Structure 1
Amino acid sequence: MGNLKYLAQRLLDMNYKAMWDKLNAIHSKTGKGRLSILRDMQECAVKYGAGYMDYDLFEMYNLTPEQRDTYLTRGRNNQLVVQYNDKASFDLLGDKIQFNTRFAPFLHRDWVAVTGENKGDVLAFLQRHDTFMAKPSQGSCGWGIEKLRCADYPTLEALYDHLVQRAPNLELEQVLEQHPAVSAIYPGSINTVRMVTIRGKSGKVYLVTAMFRIGNGKFVDNFNSGGMVAPMDPETGEVIDRALDKQKHLYANHPATGTPIQGFRFPDWDKARALVEQAAQVIPQLGYVGWDVCFTPDGPCLVEGNQFPGHDIYQLPVHTPDKIGIMPRFRAIEAAERQQASQGQ
């Protein structure tokens, strides 16, 4: 039923021109007939909750039905969000000011909201930090984030006048210092790890997957803003494959530094796991979260939490040579929860 509801909504919202562009591209790549591809797309939408973008991204035209069923599609991801996350609590993560307030013990950095009514607090922050990050309180994919220097403005008053124009939807943060081993891979951005957790009804927190997100030419590491992603072993914190960018270029070593990516093992991984397990208990109403974690010389800290953890970067074709997605991990968690519930009865 969930897939049918998802399909109905997608039919209403669909960009049909973009769908036909994808269909034609798949036709050119595979030689399969357009009508056959369209029918297969429709079948994947009904059976697996996969839209045409998932169909293309995960190359479902190359997968067997059994393999297709292992992929976390957009439709299935939406179902998990509905299952585990209370919509009324979304802003506790989605609004950066609320997030920083609620998760202050996990931030390990200075920050201040720009409300338009706290000029003294903002000026005090600017006096403490020559360089800082200015972030919109709402937004994703690194959009709207600026790295600013006080020296680029004639006075701190002038800088405040610039910042307050975006009040009350702006917050300022101290620039994080990342661990030297992580910085050696790419020093131009804070390179975070996306750690996805599920908090079961039992209260147990499961680490589902982890992805290394790496900057490449910009000060943000987001895949959709020019960055790269590489899969990790969530148990050990080791990067187990090459990094991929949006243009589908693969890198065993970072193109800017030459430093190896594949095989890198994160320092303090046990501490990072403990960090997200503790963070996942703060808001029980949000049980399915993607945490962005920075590794500093003093240990890991939270950058942000995402109530829509995404589904695409964790199972890209180049990173899944066995053509198996991450859906079995979620099913294993649900099975473990059922078993624990039955034992508790």
Structure 2
Amino acid sequence: MADLGYVFRRIARMDFGRMFKVIDKCHNKCGRNKVSLFFDCVFTGLIYGAGYMDFYQFRMYDMNAKEKKTVITRGVNNSIVRKYNDKKSIYKFDDKIKFNEIFNDYMNREWMEVKEDNADDFAAFCGRHAEIIVKPVSQSCGVGVEKILTTGEDLKALHQRLFKNGQILVEEVAGQHDAINAIYPLSVNTLRIVTLKNQVATALFRIGNGGNVVDNFNHGGMVTRIDVDDGIVKWPAIDKDTNVYEVHPYTGYKLIGTKIPMWEEAKAMCVEASKVVPEVGYIAWDVCVGKDRPCLIEGNNYPGYDLYQLPVHREGNMGLYPHFKEIMGDD
């Protein structure tokens, strides 16, 4: 059974209006009676630690008890985070400047911090890189990330704007491998490689879409699963609106069968990086497949479990919890 303390805290903060809208969506998907779905959703939350969005997104209304038990739900994911990620150390991942300092050896690109008094350094950086990526240091899900062409810009004014907006992390644009660029050229299409106890637990491929310059699932991107053993995409991609893609709509690229370049190097890099801060043992790494080597983009100390087990990527309607348990062993 799920941690009852966690369940009751979730109930106290629950948006019941949104929950009933989600039940409506479930009904539209499967045709089941809404009252039956409501009680199934509540029961699934109590027993398996699933939020109502888990219930909808993982189609748990179409799963039996044996199948539900295999899903990494919000409650299960939280328990793994609590077990392996020391609260006193997670700031090393939350603060993007601190992260870049610690993991600089794996970044494989130039970066700098915008400060009030370093406009000249910023101008020199832009002189070396005509195109830059700017990020706020504490946001997530692609919020506040911009790609800027600096040619012809008033660099002093741009420096002031970035400092004022808190977009103080400036990075050289990570050049991606031609094979990845061919799939969707407007964004850096990143790998999401999840490590648990210094082992690769699962891996995903995030791809931009719709003219967006970020590949984030919450900003119009799509995601598919990578076979960890051989680095091949064997499933279609899906976006947040549950549209499924076997072919990328922007380029016409066939997704299934894609072989990720330098896959073994990317895995090895993440395993090595996972040992740098041993107090944080459950990490989702975002990796760019560069032209000649993988580049670390960032590490997430609260891995987004919502992407792991989407129905279109499941085998036998089973989730990944049994596999994660194998890695955790007797801990």
Q: TM-score range by the shorter chain?
A: over 0.9
Residue correspondence of structure 1 range 164-175 to structure 2 within 5 A: 164-167=163-166, 170-175=168-173
Inter-partner Cα distance in structure 1 for 2:239 and 2:31: 26
- CA RMSD in angstroms, aligned pairs only: 1.5
1:341 aligned residue: none
Inter-partner Cα distance in structure 1 for 2:157 and 2:136: 19
Matched, 1:283 2:281: no
Cα deviation for residue 321 of structure 1 reads 5.0
Cα deviation for residue 16 of structure 1 reads 0.8
Inter-partner Cα distance in structure 1 for 2:292 and 2:168: 27
| Structure 1 residue ranges (4+ consecutive) displaced by more than 4 angstroms after TM superposition | none
1:206 aligned residue: 199
Cα deviation for residue 25 of structure 1 reads 2.7
Cα deviation for residue 30 of structure 1 reads 3.3
2:116 touches 2:160 (CA, 8 Å); kept in 1?
Answer: no
| Paired letter, 2:206 | R
1:268 aligned residue: 262
2:4 aligned residue: 4
| Paired letter, 2:228 | P
Cα deviation for residue 152 of structure 1 reads 4.8
Inter-partner Cα distance in structure 2 for 1:63 and 1:318: 14
Matched, 1:292 2:286: yes
Of 241, 244, 247 in structure 2, the residue corresponding to residue 247 of structure 1 is 241
For residue 241 of structure 2, give the secondary structure of its aligned residue in structure 1: coil
1:180 aligned residue: 178
Residue correspondence of structure 1 range 73-152 to structure 2 within 5 A: 73-152=73-152
Inter-partner Cα distance in structure 2 for 1:327 and 1:160: 46
1:227 aligned residue: 221
Give the TM-score normalised by structure 1.
0.92
Which sections of structure 1, spanning at least 5 residues, go unmatched? Answer: 200-204, 339-345
Cα deviation for residue 63 of structure 1 reads 0.7
Q: Deviations over 1:165-221 (max 9, x none)?
A: 134x5210001110011111111110001000012xxxxx21110000001121100
2:194 aligned residue: 196
For residue 211 of structure 1, give the secondary structure of its aligned residue in structure 2: strand
Q: Deviations over 1:79-109 (max 9, x none)?
A: 1110100112122111111110000000011
Which sections of structure 2, spanning at least 5 residues, go unmatched? Answer: none
Give the TM-score normalised by structure 2.
0.96
For residue 88 of structure 1, give the secondary structure of its aligned residue in structure 2: coil
| Paired letter, 1:214 | I
Aligned pair in 2 of structure 1 residues 53, 175: CA closer, same or farther (>3 Å)? same
Inter-partner Cα distance in structure 2 for 1:25 and 1:163: 41
Inter-partner Cα distance in structure 2 for 1:313 and 1:39: 25
1:342 aligned residue: none
Aligned pair in 2 of structure 1 residues 238, 29: CA closer, same or farther (>3 Å)? closer
Counting aligned pairs with the same residue, the percent is 42
Inter-partner Cα distance in structure 2 for 1:249 and 1:31: 19
2:247 touches 2:254 (CA, 8 Å); kept in 1?
Answer: yes
| Paired letter, 1:94 | D
Inter-partner Cα distance in structure 1 for 2:16 and 2:84: 31
